[in-house]
Amino acid sequence: MKLPTTPSFRLDNKTALITGASSGLGLGCAVALAEAGAHVVLAARNSKNLNQAVDAINEKKLSAEMMVLDVLNVSSMTKLIEEKGPFDILVNSAGLGRHSPSIDTPVEDFDEVMSVNLRGAYFVTQAVAKGLIKSKKPGSLVNISSQMGHVGGIDRAVYSASKHAVEGFTKAMAIEWGAHQIRVNTICPTFIRTPLTQSTFDNPARKKWIEEKIKLGRVGEVEDVMGAAVFLASEASSMITGSALMIDGGWTAD
């Protein structure tokens, strides 16, 4: 009997662009892809943190470099990606939240969240895809979305709207670019413990709400997302596109 062969999770000879890579989920995904053999390009606005992250990855005898990139400046971002690409893999992790009751949402908060989470993510994905199509290369593009791209949440109307939109354009791009063998998917984490989310966990009422909703009984850690990034970037997921990978501890199972 001839047994099937497990597809490889390795990313050797691949180049990956990770936005929002100076900390948190972006940094975790960069480390995971580098450990799987990819050359990782860490992109963010904070050059000091980027330098430290790249140095730490290279000290592990992995391959990394930095790219100072502002996703809000679409023209310069597009030009830089065109010059440095093509990238076989994208992990779009740049994002922010401005949480408040929806009745009190300031226009400025709405515009800022949408500019980064939606507009920035959309045009970074577009720029990487253009490079792949021009080079006639396949690729895997991963947008870090959220469980809030599938449900609503207290004080998170704007954030949830931005992530629902990410889910929508991801599916549409997957349909359009499938003929080019470019896969587009999302990763949808629950609340992940990072310095940026610590204020939420410091609020007893919010912490109680989160713990009640997560069926596994614990909040997420950066490490919980790293394996998913490698899976979606690799040939192990070669038939997956236009999909959302939930890493929510059962939050959306209700």
> So which residues are the catalytic ones?
159
Neighbouring CB atoms inside 10 A of 10's CB total: 14
Helices (H), 41-192: 47-59, 74-84, 107-113, 121-135, 157-177
Residue 16: exposure state from Cβ atoms within 10 A (0-12, 13-18, ≥19): buried
Neighbouring CB atoms inside 10 A of 53's CB total: 24
Neighbouring CB atoms inside 10 A of 96's CB total: 15
Residues in Cβ contact with 139 at an 8 Å cutoff, skipping those fewer than 6 apart: 86, 87, 88, 89, 90, 128, 129, 132, 181, 182, 183
The alpha carbon of residue 206 and the mean position of all alpha carbons in its chain are separated, in whole angstroms, by 24
Query: Do residues 237 and 231 touch, judged by C-beta distance below 8 A?
Result: yes
Closest by CA to 132, choosing from 170, 91, 183, 171, is 183
CA distances from 190 to 44, 118, 125, 168 (A): 23, 19, 23, 19
Element (H, E) at 70: none
Which residue carries 């990410």 as its tokens? 166
